[in-house]
Amino acid sequence: MSLTDALQYNSGPGDITLRNWAANFTREVFQPAYDDWEIILNGGNTDGWGKVVRTLCEPGDYILCEQHTYPSAQAVWAPMGCKAVPIAMDAGGLRADALEQNLSQLSKSKGRRPRLLYVVPVGSNPTGVTMNGERRKQIYEVCVRYDVVIVEDDPYSFLQFPAFEPDTAAFDPLLPSEASTAEFLESLAPSFLRYDDQGRVIRLDSFSKTIAPGNRLGYFVANPIFIERLLRTTEVETQAPSGWSSVILSNVLHSWGTSGYLQWLAQLRNQYRARRDWLCNSIADSFLLESAKSSRESPADAEGLVAFHSTTRKVPIFSFVPPTGGMFVWARFYIACSSKYQEMLSLNSCTDPEKAFQDELWLAMADARVLLTPGSYYTPWEGKDKVTTEERGAQKDIIHFRLSFSMTTKEEMELGVSRMATVLRRFWDDPE
């Protein structure tokens, strides 16, 4: 695309040169299991997801999603009167057995059962977990049995890194990537496209997390039937993707070629791996950090690592699974040991003590100039009758916060975690 063309209105599918590049890249990297898939551009993954919902869903539908899911994804379906069916997760992501159980129960009911699964399989926002190939294959097979369309929202696809090892120095982000292109691709979990021999996967791919968020440009990969409908939706909504972004990205990517882009991605992964290590090591410096499996004082349901109050007072404050992808750490807080929480429980007027405690703790950390995202932001919307912890059937005495390592420096992370530790110890002190 020339600059002259970019200044004019574009077609609904988007710039043909960029779509051709994306098609070649998808074929080489993601290896779809069928041949006649197609690509059209969109305004980024959030825009793409909104078009999927408005194209495939009717008011009042149920949408399958992860137990903790992206807030902006919910902002599309909630105004339509759609409701979530949250599926339990573990350290490997959304659980195939839980998905099967939910669909089996819903298929016996008289209402319209869910036909759409929304999932962020790599570096899930907010949990940071990544599904391996075997888990994806299991989920795909469940969706085949119950005729469910999978929407794979995968902006963090290339930000996958090895497991964090406690008591080791942080990875050096300045080290050049020594992996070959083949080794880099081999280290990545496969896309759902690899298992999709029926054309039931709609993949949302984006340049926001790999080149620049301000591009606001991404693309759909899907079968021709879905693509045709999504194109009709595009024509009456956004009409066409940004010409400016298209011409810039197309020229950059064609200049780099697939191998050059993969080299860029491999080095970018190094940067985020180092940031992940900085944050996890900062937590280890401010708390007593032990493996959930090996520590006798760990909560029974804890996974990953547990942060205790101190060596002299081994009270679990929170646990987390060090992420193997993305930009986030999802911390699970055990608030039953907090004196402030016990005070809230004693108040008969407190209808949702978990939420009240979360809000008070968030304000205290904000006052200490530490900004975390409350876990309630990521609670799937199931309707007005399932708002409180008790109404949703969520686990009592548990709250979550999301920590991000996307932009802060090593020094800022250390300072922020130190401030967070000061606030948490104040909330977890012994009752007077």
pLDDT tens sequence across 62-86: 999 999 999 999 999 999 999 999 9
Contacts of 107 (CB under 8 A, 6+ apart): 113, 146
**Averaged over 81-101, what is the pLDDT?**
96
* Spatial distance between the Cα atoms of 23 and 40, rounded to a whole number of angstroms: 10
Q: 30: pLDDT confidence band, cut at 50, 70 and 90?
A: very high
Residue 362 C-beta-side C-alpha neighbours within 13 Å: 18
pLDDT tens sequence across 157-204: 999 999 998 877 777 776 666 668 888 999 999 999 999 999 999 999
128-137, 172-181, 379-388, 399-408: segment of lowest average pLDDT: 172-181
Task: State what percent of residues in the chain have pLDDT above 70.
Answer: 97
Mean pLDDT over the full length of the chain: 92
Task: State what percent of residues in the chain have pLDDT above 90.
Answer: 78
* Spatial distance between the Cα atoms of 231 and 220, rounded to a whole number of angstroms: 10
CATH class of 273-427: alpha beta
CATH code matching the domain that covers 3-272, chosen among 2.60.40.10, 3.40.640.10, 2.40.50.100, 3.40.50.10490: 3.40.640.10
pLDDT at 432: 40
Span(s) in the chain for CATH 3.40.640.10: 3-272
Burial of 60 (0-12, 13-18, 19+ CB in 10 A): exposed
pLDDT at 191: 98
Span(s) in the chain for CATH 3.90.1150.10: 273-427
pLDDT tens sequence across 293-314: 988 889 988 999 999 987 777 8
pLDDT tens sequence across 250-265: 999 999 999 999 999 9
Is pLDDT at 35 greater than 70 in this prediction? yes
pTM: 0.93
6-10, 85-89, 392-396: segment of lowest average pLDDT: 6-10
pLDDT tens sequence across 342-356: 988 887 778 899 999
pLDDT tens sequence across 355-370: 999 999 999 999 999 9
**Averaged over 329-335, what is the pLDDT?**
97
Contacts of 380 (CB under 8 A, 6+ apart): 65, 66, 67, 68, 69, 74, 84, 85, 86
**Is the CB of residue 256 less than 8 Å from the CB of residue 264?**
yes
pLDDT at 106: 87
